[in-house]
Amino acid sequence: MDAPGMQPWQWAVWVVGVTAFAVVIGLVIAAAVRAARRPPELPSAAQRLQRQSPPSPEVEAQLRELAGLQQAGRIGEVEYERRRAEVLAGNPAPGNDPQP
């Protein structure tokens, strides 16, 4: 009869199992640390552009003018967003005045 205790193959299985468990735990911890270091995603491209470089006073004035036109009902939401994107991109279209 064999002496009480684990056989060599049982030790090998145990070591492999514990090692695999430790590797999985290490990968989970590494993923959590990497995710914590990543900057939060910005909700829109417009906000990303604004944080990268604040708009010039001219651009701010154009955006205020567009907001006023929208609030006055002279342009719709789609036209406002299109013009706003053009202003933020730095190439406002000529003749932005709405037709009466």
pLDDT band at residue 64 under the 50/70/90 scheme: very high
pLDDT by residue (tens digit) across 28-42?
Answer: 999 999 988 877 765
* Terminal Cα distance for the chain, rounded: 104
pLDDT by residue (tens digit) across 45-59?
Answer: 766 666 677 768 888
Instruction: Say which residues have a Cβ less than 8 Å from residue 90's Cβ, sequence separation at least 6.
Output: 59
pLDDT at 60: 87
pTM of the model: 0.41
pLDDT at 90: 77
Instruction: Say which residues have a Cβ less than 8 Å from residue 87's Cβ, sequence separation at least 6.
Output: 59, 62, 63, 66
- C-alpha distances out from residue 51 to 35, 55, 67, 87, Å: 21, 9, 20, 16
